[in-house]
Amino acid sequence: MAAPAQALLRAEGLSLAVAGRLIQRELNFDVRRGEILVLMGGSGCGKSTLMRHLIGLQTPAAGRVLYGDIDLAEAGEEQLAGLRRQFGVMFQAGALWSSMTVGENVMLPLREFTELDDDAAEQLARFKLALVGLDGAFDESPAALSGGMKKRAAIARAMALDPPLLFLDEPSAGLDPLTSARLDELILNLRDHLGTSIVLVTHELDSIFAVADRALFLDAKDKTMIALDAPRQLLETGPDTVRAFLRRKERP
C-alpha cells in the first residue's frame, strides 16, 4: 500500500537487525508532513538503527520503508539520489570536517548536489548559518566552536538543500540544559517557519515535551514499538513502561 498523502514516509512491518541480531520487529508508523516525531526508548533499543533504516543506510530484515510509493530498498540509483535530496541528516556525532571551515562544511552538500557556482553556494551557506544563529562563524574552524554551536552548524549543513524532512540523532547529547533548550527552539523554528518535518532521536525529557507532536516508543524487551502518540497523552494513557520513562522526573 502506498503512503497516505499527508505522510512523507511510512514504515510497514519493518524489522531491524544488526549483525544478524534482531533488534526491533513489526514497526508500523508514518512521518507526517510538518510534524516533529520523536523516537524514544531506553539505551540500545534501536533508535539510531531505525533512523539508519529510514534513510536507507541499512536494509530491513523484513518489511519496508516507503517514500510516497517508492520502496527505499528497491529504489534505483537515480530514484535514491532524488530521495536523498529530500532529507537532511545529522548523525549522533554531528561531526563537522575539522580540516574545513564551518562555512565550507555547510557548502559541501551544495557542491555535491547542486550546480551552484562558488559565490552562490557561499551566499546560501551564509544564509543557512544565519538561520541557526551562527552569522559570524563562516570562516571559523569547527574547533573554535562550542558544543552547542557545532550542533547548530551541523544542522545548518543538514538544511543546506532545504530538505522537507530532517533527521536529527541526539542533537542535545552532551549539551547543558540551556543550550539544549535553545536547540529545541531552533528545531521548532525550522518546523514552524520552513515547514520542515523532523524525526528526532532524543533521551531528553525536556526536549520530548517541548518539541514532539508525537513520540514513538521502542521497547528493548518486547523488541517492538509499544506506543505512538502525543507525549502528554502518553503520560496520561500510555503503557506503564512508557509512563515510567516519561515520569523520570517531575514535569512542569
Which residues lie closer than 8 Å to 19 by C-beta, 6 or more apart? none
Q: Is 18 a binder of ligand ATP (CB under 6 A)?
A: yes
Q: Nearest approach, Cβ of 218 to ligand ATP (angstroms)?
A: 7
Q: Is 143 a binder of ligand ATP (CB under 6 A)?
A: no
Give, as one character, the DSSP assignment of residue 93. T
Q: Which stretch binds ligand ATP (CB under 6 A): 17-25, 117-125, 150-158, 176-184?
A: 17-25
Q: Nearest approach, Cβ of 232 to ligand ATP (angstroms)?
A: 23
Q: Which stretch binds ligand ATP (CB under 6 A): 16-24, 131-139, 145-153, 209-217?
A: 16-24
SS3 124: helix
Site for ligand ATP in 29-48 (CB under 6 A): 41, 43-48
Beta bridge mates, 100: none
Give, as one character, the DSSP assignment of residue 164. S
Grid coordinates in use for 231?
Answer: 507525549
Q: Is 75 a binder of ligand ATP (CB under 6 A)?
A: no
Give, as one character, the DSSP assignment of residue 240. H
Q: From the list 1, 4, 5, 19, which residue makes contact with ligand ATP (rule: CB under 6 A)?
A: 19
Q: Which stretch binds ligand ATP (CB under 6 A): 15-23, 27-35, 99-107, 179-187?
A: 15-23
Q: From the list 7, 23, 38, 54, which residue makes contact with ligand ATP (rule: CB under 6 A)?
A: 23
> CA-CA-CA-CA torsion for 108, 51, 11, 203, nearest 10 degrees?
-130
Q: Is 68 a binder of ligand ATP (CB under 6 A)?
A: no
Instruction: Calculate the CA 84 to chain-centre distance.
Output: 14
Q: Is 58 a binder of ligand ATP (CB under 6 A)?
A: no
Per-residue CA distances from 76 to 10, 68, 69 (Å) = 19, 15, 13
